[in-house]
Structure formats: structure tokens, C-alpha cells
A and B are shown apart, each in its own frame.
Chain A
């Protein structure tokens, strides 16, 4: 204590005076006197002679009851959750581990539990036990057990009983006649008076005679051979005090060395009956009592007559033999084969009509003549390039042929190869190549193109080789041609490409590898006889067949490994190109006006946003607050699904940087239904639908290609008044040939315009989907509108050759547009579109008037913005009014859109010179018209 205090004085407060430190006990060399010696267990704990259960060592904790923590549990663990599986503690839970060990009070040994133990007192075992008990030093000790043992019967017993078996009988078909008792062997001497022969013979004969034919007898029970091991140190066949002789004074005259105790088992029951004439103990070495009349032979004189002089079979009729029955018995059994089973037959069972077929035994195989029973361990050589030769030599010495590529050794096989060998279906990769990510349409186009090239190649080949076009894949081969068709088809998907050369299964054999590569090339070209063609004609038929298999397998293996590789990668959980994104339903709206409110110190309504917010249930509980939304499972702010792409994602105008609103673009949730445009025709794309679609998709792809960093040079602000001239920037002339996209943007009306028109939907609570639809429709319209100038530009840019001719007269593109489109379709490529090639001369004419005006625009811009904001608010206001009406306006929309068609088509034709103001004006007039 004191020592610790001195260490950490600064963070401990000391109360009172510390105890003196305990002196270190110096261990003396002298032997510890007896009274100081202690008994400890392996953990150093004292062993005391009192304990909770054993009364021995090691109960309790350091001479106490309880544990180290005393009686208090170390931690309180609530059992509310796991009350059900709470276990009932048994006495073992309070015991030490020593008690459960081998010498403890509750040793844990593997014991057959009661459920599995035989329920009955096994008669046979019992008999054996009886025998053992009879020979035991204290006879009859087991009798008491038998009295107490409850009678439980096993299923087997019950079945047997139902079949008519009774205890004491043998098992088996009943016999018709009692087997004839054998006559006493004349070799055995019988002392004493012989019975009158006539009477005995006669009685037996009478017995036979009286037996009717239909009376059968159960077979005699058999007594098993006593297998009790000899566990004493007496000599063989020693019987300490033969109870038969000692108690009842009979002297077993006849020794049977082999029968042992079993001989006496039969007459054990009669012990007390007929031989009870003598009392008192007598026997060898007991001497003869004074009251005894006879002088017994107390010294166990051995006479040879006690022993059998001839090894012969025992009397067969006594039924004391089990499966070790002598030959005679067996023969007898076989002769009785024809005996029918006469016992009861259980329900549902019937007697077998034909006997069980005996097991046929086969002789062990003949060993080859040169077989040596010695195992030779082959040296293991790792397969590297250096010792491949050695390995080959080794494998050849082992009697193998050339190493099979598929079945090298298990160390050379990877998982896919093993799976292949085991015949598993190869793992299908989610996508084997980039091609999989293409859309179906694109794939088809690729296929067409590939077929075209294939066809061309095939034709070339056909011409050069003077072979018929049957080799080309364009003419499908009949499926029944050969077994190779299957793998041919499997490999047809471009899996085994020419780049398969980096996978060299036959690298050891360059010739073979060459053939293999050739085979791959052929196969790639879709020739079904590729195998036959590339095989070495000098090889034998067998070799060719073998190689054919190998090649096919190797090609498949390559494909499968490819697919396993690709199966390691999965698709993204959230698709990048999905149009929906989950956003909070209510967004904190633009900080711009709030900022001005803060500047004007108008805190309050202007600066405050109020949202519905769902606290977690547990949090409410912890705060002792009732859950404000007891029925909702929502946590946090309510979220809704919104379209991911808004117009403002595409209009990555440089202006956004200068705007104070640097909030996330998704705050302006104005939707843009890009892909499903065709499904929901709006008034903007009814007349020129296909053209519009095309322009939008072009615009989309254009925007996506730019989606990364907004790296186009920052155009100076384009005011909406100045959009008459499509290009604005001065520096554009320098690199306008390179970057046509920027020009396309330059010609667009400013961001403010779009925002003024479309951005209003974000701050309103879109409580109903109807509202959203209304919004989105507006947005759609906006996107379509936004596309006008740019689509023109891109069209012009993409089809530069056509545009070149058109540019001098840009007023008349509409008739040429369908043609352009078709051309585009034809030469459509995949992936992000390249920036369009641009003709500088053509554009310059349009740019010229722009240049000077630009500076003025900047100055005006600020004032305009203010103006615009006011307008925006007005528009918002109006929109609110319209909300309710839009709902039932739906069916009328088509008609209204038709009515606007004419103006649209007009506007389409005049896109080149329509001014943004004009657009704005029209847009504004639209809702009015809808009313």
C-alpha cells in the first residue's frame, strides 16, 4: 500500500496511515518441520480436510466456503432474455474439477446409459453368472441380486415371446421328436447297479410310442461358453471348495477338463433336491469329522479313471452346446432343414419361402509372381521448370506414360481443375467480360458485326484454301456431327480467346503446345473440325484420340478458370445507372435567401426549417419520452425515392461555382426521366418524338461522358438576354475545335433560367405522388427544352461531314435530321461517345457577334439575378395554386399537348434563332394554357 502510494501520489488521495509492508519471508534451507508442512494442489491452493462434498481436500476457497468473489455474483446478468434455456444446476456444478477426475467422488467415465443398456436380465449371461457364482468363494451371493432385480424385458424378448417362445426353451423351429437320447457309451464305466435293461429300454420305447405325431418339442436351450476371464491366481481348473462336494458331499467323479463349469450347470438346480442328505462341510483337506461314518478320501487321490481316455464328443442330447456345438449336432440340424417352422408368426411377417442364399466366398486374388511385399516410397519432387525433366523421368520410371495435363498430381490441380475432374459443373461467373455489361441491343450488334467479320474471314479462307464454306460458322453445322459439338458450343462464347496463349497447358511439349494454340485459333474461327485439322497426321490413331481429349479438356479448363476468376467479383449492390436514389423527403432549402435574411437579422420563419423527425424507440425510452410516432418504424427523417438525374446534373454550368448555392445538387430535386421517356409522352415529344428521343439520349450520353470532373473551361456567365448568339466566350476560339461540348453549353441559356423554371419543386413537400408527377412533367419539359440548342450542336458536330455542308445554312436542318440519325445509328459505337469533331470555320461565323457583348453581360448579371429571384417566387406561388387542379387535369393533357404541338414544331424549326427569352416566355405561358 505504502509503496503504491509513493508511486502514484498525484492521483491518489491517501487516508490514514498505510500498513507496514509485509516482510519477505526468507526461505530457509532447513527442512520444514512436520507441523509446518502443507498440502497444496497443483494450483498452489491449500488442501484442507473439510469441504462441501467430498470431505476431502480442495473444497471452498482458501479455507472458506464460496469463491474468490465471495457469495456475490461477479456481474449481474439479466436472465430476462435467456430464461428459457437456463439450465438447472446439478451437484456437479458445485464440485471442483478434482472431484470429477478419475479418483474423485464423481468420476466421469464412459458408461452405457440406462436407455441403451439391455433392459432384461440376460438369461444367458445370468446363467454364466450363476455358474461363476457357484464357483465363487462365497456361493450364492448373486442370488440376492436376482431377487431384487426388476424384471424388464427387451424388445427381443417380447418378440420372441410373441412368437411362442418360453423361457427355458431354445430358439428355433420346434422339433417333432425329442432327439433320441444316446445310449450310454460303453466306454464309460458305470459304477453301481445297472438298471434292469428291459425296463429302461422299454420305457424309452414306450415314450417314443406314445408320442403323437403332431406334438412337437421346443429345442433345448443352449448354455453359452463361459467366457469369463480368469482373474485369479489359482491354478488352472482349481476349485477352492467345491460347494457340491463340500456342502453336499458328492464327489464329482468325472473331470472334464474342457467342459469346465458348464458341465455342472445343467444339474445345478437339483443340488438341493436329491443330495441333501449330508450336512456339514466336507471336502478336500477338511478332514473327516468324528461324526462321519465313512472315511472319505480327504486327500484327493487322482485316479486316471477320472479322466477321459479318449477325446470324444459329449453326449449330444443335453443341449449344452451353443454355436460351438460338435459336428454331430450340426449334421443333425442340417438334416432337419425340411422341418417347418411351427411357432407363431408375428403379424405382418410371413415365413420365407426360399432359404437365404448363402454368402458366396471368393478366394483372395492371386498375387503376381514378382510381387514383393515391400512398399517403396517415391521421392517427392516439386514441379518447377528446372526439375521438370527429373519429374518426367521419375514418373516414367513409375510406369506412367507422358504426364496427362489434366491429371498431373493433386498439387498441381487448382480448385477449378479438380472440380472439372470430379465432373462438377463449372462455376458460372456473373460476368466473364466487359461485354456482359453491354445492353442486349449492343450485344446483338456486336454479334452481327462479329458474324460479318467471321463471314468475311471465312470467305477469305475458303478462297485461299479452296475449301468450302462449310467451315464457317455462318452456316450452322448439324448438331449430330460429333461429340465435340458440346464443347464447341461451350467455347463459342469467346471465352477461349486468342489470348489464351498465356495459358500454356502443354508448355513442356512445345510441339504440342503449338498444335494446341492452332486448335484454339481454329476453334475461335468456328471450325468444327478444328481438332482434326491441327492434330499431327503422323501420330497414331490412339495418340490422336488422346490428344483430342486433352485439348478439349484444356480448352474447357481455361474457360472455367476464367469464369472462376470472374465469379469473385460481384455486381455492385446499387446500380450506378439506376434512375432512383433515396433522398430525404424534406431538404433544407436554399441558404441563399436565408443568408440574406440573416444579414437583415430577420431570424425566425425565414431561417427556420421544420421537419418531421422520428426518434428511435429506444432513444425515446432512454429519454423517458413517449414515442411521438408510435406506429411508424421509420427512424430519422422520412425518405423518398427520387430520380437520380436531374436537369441540373447535366447542366454542369460553370455558373454554379459563382452562385452562392454550393449545396449538393440533389437539393434541387427536379427529376428527369431519361430512359423511360418514350413511355410517358409529354407535349414536348409527341410531334417529333423520335427526334427528341434521340437528342435526349445523345445529350445524356454526352453529359455522362462529362460526368467526371467538370473540366470544361469556365465560361463567363451567359446572361439570358444574350443568348441570341449561341457562343459567348472569347477564349473559345482558341480551342473550340477541340472542345465542342463547351460550345454546346455556351449556346445554352444560363443556369438561372432553368432554375427559375424548374427548381421550385424541391422545397415543397411532395406529399402526394400526383404532385410529383406534375413536377416531373414540368421537369421533363424542361429537359426537353434544355436540349434544343445542344442537340442541334451535337448533331452537327457528330456528323461532321453532313454538318459541314449544312452549317452555312443552319436554318434548315429539320429535313436532314432523320437522315443524320440513321447514319448515326449505323456507325454507332459503344462506350462513351467521343467529343464530336468540329469544324472551326463553320462555327466562327456564329461566334463573331458574341464576343463584344460578353463583358456587358457580366455587369448586368447581378441585377438580373435579383430580378430572377423575385420571378421565381412568383412562379412558386402560382404553382401552388395549380397543384390541386393538376390532378384532374391528367386526361386533358394529351389534348393540350396536341394543341402545343404546332408551336413546338415551330419552335423546333426555329431552334436556331429562337431566343431564350422567347423560350422563357413560352414556358411561362404554358401553365396558363393548362388552366
Chain B
């Protein structure tokens, strides 16, 4: 009573480079935090998946068993298992401790762009360029998926899962939200015409080290969606598409709440996310920066220079202002300016 309400600290943005992990696994296709943000996973183009402590910069384990580059990974809620999908069209369920492959789900006709666990890690949802999302049951021994969501008309680039929803983004320019509780599918068209005619194929060709995984979309598509995510409060959805625009949509009505521009995303499948307290919108860019916009105002808050290449993937810590970015073959860990390493490990 006597004490006044503590003044809320202004949100701090991670802009201090804390660590650079040289992953040694070719290009890092994706970097992901685990559920509590203490560890991170890097998906390499050399068919391996690595588990790190990003703050200390120590490698904990290497998971090898994929037949082609790993494109996405996710950890379960209890940190006991991982799932990953890759260019070998397979979705793999790993045991974290032993590093062994527990299950390998085959059935996709194309490479798997994205994988997600559901909340209880009983189902793996995988989106593939074969324009389907498959729900694999981790509990039973069934080799075929529980359900295949094949409403997308083009490759699926992003899948996110909440407790009762599946949010998918597809190259056909639609964001589809499957609501299991209501038994309804909401399809939002967000694509607009691609700003630039995308070149087919990569310029430098071949899976060279540091080359981002290109979506290599054929020309004149209608705003392929590269990434979708829920806001942390579950009310909004953030969509990024290849017209270098991020849009914040109201989840229930599909109305546009905000639009964020300034970065460059015309060619590659880049990640975007919201900061830990939904204050900022964060996105990768093809010009080597990470862009931070204020969520409400839509103004550019920070353009964090990472390097010269394409910032290919990023992951935001679930509770702290901590950011991981992947560029080329390395992963950078960023913290806020005021952050001090606790035990001198940094």
C-alpha cells in the first residue's frame, strides 16, 4: 500500500551479441529454442540435428539419422523427445537422452518444411511441400498418419500448434486455421502479388555452406506465406509473406490489425515471431538484419545487423529477451544490453 506500483520496465530488445556458435553442420536451416528456453536445436544441412546450450555455447548432443538436410525441429514439452523433418521426406522422433531414433514417419511425398509437437507431445504435425499436413501419432505404432490435412493448394511452409488449433501457412497465399474444438477451418487469404518475380533456383546453386534454404518459388505467385505464428496471448496471428510484409491479423475475425514493412523477404522462407511479451514483432530479413517493430504502432524499433548473409532463421526465448539468429553456418545468441552473464561462462 505504501509502496507504489513498480514502474514497468520498458521492454528491452536483445541487441548484445552474447555468443556465436559455429555449428559445424553446414548451413543452419533452422534454430529453435526448447520449451523453457535453456537449450536450442540447430538443424544443419549436413543431415544432423544438434542440441546446444546457447548461453554457454556448449554442444550437448548430435542427432544423426536423417537422410538429407534437416529443415525444422521441435522439442517436446517435457524435453524428453525431439521431432525433426527434412529433405528426406521423413519425420523423425528422437529420444533426447540417448540420441536414438524412436520413430521415423514416412508418408510425405516431398520434403518436410516444418514440424511441430502438439501440447502433450502425443502428435507430431508436419507440413510438407506436397501441400499436406500430416498428423502423426507418437503413441501408437501406426505407420500412417492419424489425419492428413490436404486443403492447401501448394506447399505448406509453416505449421504452428496451440492447445486446440493448428495454424498453417501455405504457398498458395492462404493461412488456414483448423480449430479442433469447433470443428471448423478458417481460411484467410493474405497473399498479394509477389513484389518481385522470384528467380527459380538459387543463384549460387548447390547446398553450399551458408546458403539459405530457398523456397524457390516459381514466378508470379500470389504472396506465398513463409511463416505464421500465434501471439502469446492467442488472440492474434502473425503472417509473413513473400511480398516483404508481415501482417498481424485478428484470429477470430481475420481482420488486419497491423502491417509491418521495411525488411526484405522476397525469396526465402524466413522466420518471424513475436517478442516474449508480445510487444514487438521480429522478423528475419534477406539483407542480413533482424527487424523489430513495435507491435501496436507498427513503427520500426530496431534493425539489428547480424551479418552480410541472409538471416535465415530465428527463435525468441519464451520468457526472456533473448534471441537466436541463424546465418550461414553459425548461430548468434543475443541478449539485452543490461544482461550480464551469471556465472562468467560468457
Contacts and interface: CB of A to CB of B under 8 A. Distances in A.
Given A11-B62, A628-B183, A598 B253 contact: no
A874 B59 CA distance: 65
B212 to A, nearest CB: 25
Interface string A407-436: 000000000000000000000000000000
Contacts of B174: 588
B135 A610 contact: no
Contact of B254 (A604, A620, A635): A604
Contacts of B173: 591
A608 B186 contact: yes
Contacts of A616: 135, 146-147
Given A615-B147, A625-B181, A608 B62 contact: no
B101 to A, nearest CB: 15
Interface in A585-626: 588, 591, 594-595, 597-599, 601, 603-605, 607-616, 618-620, 622-626
A85 interface: no
B187 A588 contact: yes
Task: Give the residue among B150, B188, B249 with the most A Cβ atoms within 10 A.
Answer: B188
- Which of under 10, 10 to 19, 20 to 34, or 35 or more describes the interface residues of A? 35 or more
B185 A637 contact: yes
A665 to B, nearest CB: 13
A10 interface: yes
Interface in A635-681: 635-637, 663
B188 A603 contact: yes
Contacts of B182: 628
Nearest to B138: A622
A613 B185 contact: yes
B36 interface: no
Contact of B146 (A584, A605, A613, A622): A622
A598 B192 contact: yes
B216 interface: no
Contact of A619 (B147, B188, B190): B147
Contacts, number: 130
B222 A636 contact: no
A620 B180 contact: yes
Interface in B179-231: 179-193, 222-223
B5 interface: no
A622 B255 contact: no
Interface stretch (B68-76, B114-122, B278-286): B114-122
Nearest to A607: B189
B183 A608 contact: no
A13 interface: yes
A628 B183 CA distance: 5
Contacts of A611: 184-185, 187
A629 interface: yes
Interface string B311-345: 00000000000000000000000000000000000
- Which of under 10, 10 to 19, 20 to 34, or 35 or more describes the interface residues of B? 35 or more
B322 to A, nearest CB: 23
A419 B88 CA distance: 48
Given A607-B254, A608-B187, A616-B146, A637 B151 contact: yes
B192 A623 contact: no
Task: Give the residue among B122, B247, B250 with the most A Cβ atoms within 10 A.
Answer: B122
B256 A601 contact: yes
Task: Give the residue among B59, B150, B183, B193 with the most A Cβ atoms within 10 A.
Answer: B183
A260 to B, nearest CB: 71
Given A622-B123, A622-B137, A623-B119, A607 B188 contact: yes
Contact of B190 (A13, A588, A607, A615): A607
B187 A609 contact: yes
Contacts of B296: none
Contacts of A614: 183
A2 to B, nearest CB: 19
Interface in B138-172: 139, 146-151, 153, 163-164
B83 to A, nearest CB: 14
A638 to B, nearest CB: 11
A595 B183 contact: no
A439 B174 CA distance: 45
Nearest to A8: B62
Contact of B147 (A591, A605, A636): A636
A528 B243 CA distance: 80
A595 B193 contact: yes
B77 to A, nearest CB: 13
B119 A594 contact: no
Task: Give the residue among B119, B185, B254 with the most A Cβ atoms within 10 A.
Answer: B185
Given A591-B173, A615-B183, A623-B180, A603 B164 contact: no
Contact of B256 (A11, A12, A604): A604
A637 B151 CA distance: 8
A597 B191 CA distance: 10
B60 interface: yes
A608 B123 CA distance: 28
A584 B150 CA distance: 11
B17 to A, nearest CB: 23
A603 B249 contact: yes
A603 B254 contact: yes
Interface string A1-13: 0000000001111
A625 B139 CA distance: 17
B259 interface: yes
Nearest to A614: B183
B277 interface: no
Contacts of B137: 618, 622
A10 B122 contact: no
Nearest to A632: B183
B308 interface: no
Contacts of B58: 13
B158 to A, nearest CB: 18
Nearest to B64: A11
B236 to A, nearest CB: 12
Contacts of B61: 11-12
B192 A599 contact: yes
A623 B123 contact: yes
A625 B184 contact: no
Interface in A136-185: none
A636 B178 CA distance: 10
B184 A619 contact: no
Contacts of A11: 59-62, 99
A613 B178 contact: yes
Closest 9 CB pairs of A and B: A628-B183, A613-B185, A603-B256, A616-B147, A608-B254, A604-B255, A11-B62, A594-B189, A609-B187
Given A11-B62, A601-B256, 17 more contacts: A10-B62, A11-B61, A584-B151, A595-B191, A598-B192, A603-B247, A607-B188, A607-B190, A613-B183, A613-B184, A616-B135, A618-B146, A622-B137, A636-B148, A636-B149, A636-B151, A637-B185
Interface of A: 10-13, 584, 588, 591, 594-595, 597-599, 601, 603-605, 607-616, 618-620, 622-629, 635-637, 663
16 contacts: A10-B62, A591-B173, A595-B189, A595-B191, A598-B189, A601-B259, A603-B247, A603-B249, A605-B254, A609-B186, A615-B178, A616-B135, A619-B146, A622-B122, A622-B123, A637-B151
